[in-house]
Amino acid sequence: GHGLSSVTSSQRVASPLMAATLSAPETEETETPNSMRPPIDYVWEDVSAQLVDAFGYSQAEVDKYAEDVDSDKEALMKIYKALQLARGFENACNQQYMQGKIRGFMHLDNGQESIPAFVDYAIKNGDKKYSYYREHTHAIASGVDPGEIMAELFMKETGSCKGAGGSMHIFDKPTYFQGGWALVSEQLPYAAGAAKSILLDRKLALSDDENFEKQDVAPPADDDRISIVFVGEGGAQNGRTAELLNSAAKDNLPLLLIVIDNGRAINTFTGDVATNGKVYEQGKHYGVPGLMVDGQDAADVAKGGKAVVDYIRSGKGPAILQVHTYRFNGHSPADPEHERGRKDEKAWARVDQDPIKKFEDKYTA
């Protein structure tokens, strides 16, 4: 692999137009910014080194996380099925949208399937989940019925919000999937509140009854629920991220911040607006550890992600998981190709950065 030094997904491109100057820049010396994102090409050793250094795991413990996936056919099949279900569902959504059967805003997750595969592998039903507007696959991986999600997109009463929410607002009480949130980073403080509520349940001896109402019954002694919140690397530049990390660290909240780093903040190349794209290191100021993984390798995302989740479940506090990935489609079917330099990158990524192809090559070749 290229190693940790290769994390260049959001490096700022210096421009003479950004400098305060009395004279016009000499255009012949100005280089055209390259908006193509290089792959990070991590191998498992790049991930395991971070788990040892940032999370305090021993090498033997890290090796066990790898063995639990690589030596377990059932675990591998679970990951592979989640990858295929996510891809197939989004392809079906795209087809129905193009036929006019799905209307309104819709954002597809093709190319980013390693994230729902990780959720399916490591996240439990009782964990509280807060996603953003590209959330179909997150809901499916959380256990929400795919038919119910598709019905919601079709504006059917049998949908998760009786057809009133649509693509960006999937909500499901039984799986504690607390919706997609349409406004960028809006979900972050709510996820922190949900993590706080888990601690309050334990403190006040409260739990949910069969109707998801609070009752005076203490959670089980082994209650290890966490709150999970999804955000893009563009949205992570929002000030709510700092507030989230501060409050989570201060109260030692059981909170996982998943940063889906596809290099584009809607249509903007993130490197043009972010001074530092290493969001997983942003928690250092608050004592919150972070891990960067390569979204092309779904197995490594599951291994590393599970280690991060277990760190949080053990009561050690919040953590960040940043997944370097590529979005194969435009921001939405209604806005497919308006991103500077994206056509070439998307064509390349579909061939060279497909997590499903990588998984098949790695485990079935």
* Per-residue tens of pLDDT for the chain, all 365 residues: 555 444 544 444 444 444 444 444 454 544 444 557 899 999 999 999 999 999 999 999 999 999 999 999 999 999 999 999 999 988 889 888 888 887 888 778 889 999 999 999 999 999 999 999 888 899 999 999 999 988 888 889 998 888 788 777 888 899 999 988 777 878 999 999 999 999 999 999 999 999 999 999 999 999 999 999 999 998 999 989 999 999 999 999 999 999 999 988 887 888 888 999 999 999 999 999 999 999 999 999 999 999 999 999 999 999 999 999 998 887 777 666 666 567 788 888 889 999 999 999 999 87
Give CA–CA dist 252/230, Å, rounded.
Answer: 19
Residue 128: strand pairing partners? 227
Nearest by Cα to 301 from 252, 362, 210: 362
pTM of structure: 0.88
CB of 298 closer than 8 Å to CB of 78: no
Q: Radius of gyration of the chain from Cα atoms?
A: 21
Residue 324: strand pairing partners? 261, 294
Give CA–CA dist 82/342, Å, rounded.
Answer: 27
- The residue written with tokens 């050793």 in the block is 45
Give CA–CA dist 33/27, Å, rounded.
Answer: 13
Please report the sign of the dihedral spanned by the C-alpha atoms of residue 189, residue 191, residue 194, residue 199.
Answer: negative
First-to-last CA distance in the chain?
20
Residues 6+ apart with CB under 8 A from 302: 69, 75, 79, 114, 117, 118, 121, 122
- The residue written with tokens 């421009």 in the block is 15
User: 96-104: which pairs have CB atoms within 8 A and are 24 or more residues apart?
Assistant: 96/153, 96/154, 97/333, 98/333, 101/154, 102/153, 102/154, 102/167, 103/155, 104/166, 104/167
Grouping H, G, I as helix, E, B as strand and the rest as coil, residue 186 is coil
pLDDT confidence of residue 1: 52
Q: Residue 89 is encoded by which pair of tokens?
A: 């569902």
Q: Residue 235 is encoded by which pair of tokens?
A: 């949205």
Give CA–CA dist 55/61, Å, rounded.
Answer: 11
Please report the sign of the dihedral spanned by the C-alpha atoms of residue 279, residue 132, residue 351, residue 357.
Answer: positive
Please report the sign of the dihedral spanned by the C-alpha atoms of residue 351, residue 356, residue 357, residue 359.
Answer: positive
Please report the sign of the dihedral spanned by the C-alpha atoms of residue 359, residue 261, residue 255, residue 290.
Answer: positive
**Quick one: which H or E segment has residue 358?**
helix 355-364
Give CA–CA dist 329/351, Å, rounded.
Answer: 13
CA 172 and chain centroid, separation: 19
pLDDT confidence of residue 17: 41
pLDDT confidence of residue 339: 60
CB of 103 closer than 8 Å to CB of 155: yes
